[in-house]
Amino acid sequence: MQDWLVNYGLYSLFILSFLASTLLPLGSEWMVVTMLLAGEKAWAVVAVATAGNYLGALSTYWIGLYGGDFLKRRVLRMDDASTQKAERFYHRFGSISLLFSFLPVIGDPLCLVGGVLKISFVRFTLLVASGKLARYAAVAWLTLKGAAL
């Protein structure tokens, strides 16, 4: 598998970043660091990782958006009153939490909840893509700074 990841470079990074942003327990930062240390262009690595990770989050958002009624009623066991309360709270305060969708453990569920509560696509895109770009840019910057020491 390591040979496959190395030989296909940016394609591998895209796939791993996509999968890492679904509900699968994976991480893609190690590959970003590996590629940067191998001399890959930082802007390309950050752009590909961000795109893959955003599209993975978008797939989780769509699961929430189109499977939301099933998830709310059957899995979360929410009635109409608790759904409305959650929606009001999330629309007022919670959607900004999508900026933190890059965090381990809580990031993927945040995207799912964004879909379940029908956060607008534009708002979702701006918040999630910004958070993921900031994370990968920070990883790249720290990697390159550390490598220069």
CA distance 74 to 95: 23
Q: Among positive and negative, which fits the CA dihedral 96, 101, 104, 109?
A: positive
pLDDT higher than threshold 80 for residue 110: yes
Q: What confidence category does residue 2 fall into, taking pLDDT thresholds of 50, 70 and 90?
A: low
pLDDT of residue 92: 72
The 3-class secondary structure across the chain, one letter per residue, is CHHHHHHCHHHHHHHHHHHHCCCCCCCCHHHHHHHHHCCCCHHHHHHHHHHHHHHHHHHHHHHHHHCHHHHHHHHCCCCHHHHHHHHHHHHHHHHHHHHHCCCCCCHHHHHHHHHHCCCCHHHHHHHHHHHHHHHHHHHHHHHHHHHHC
pLDDT higher than threshold 70 for residue 41: yes
CA distance 98 to 129: 9
- The answer to which of 28-32, 45-49, 51-55, 100-104 has the lowest mean pLDDT is 100-104
Mean pLDDT for the chain? 85
Q: Which of 12-21, 85-94, 107-116 has the highest mean pLDDT?
A: 12-21
Burial profile 43-82: b = 16 or more Cβ within 10 angstroms, e = fewer: eebbebbbbbbbebbbebbebbbeebeebbeeeeebeeee
Pair 57, 18: CB distance under 8 Å: no
Q: What is the pTM (predicted TM-score) of this model?
A: 0.83
* Mean per-residue pLDDT, 75-91: 72
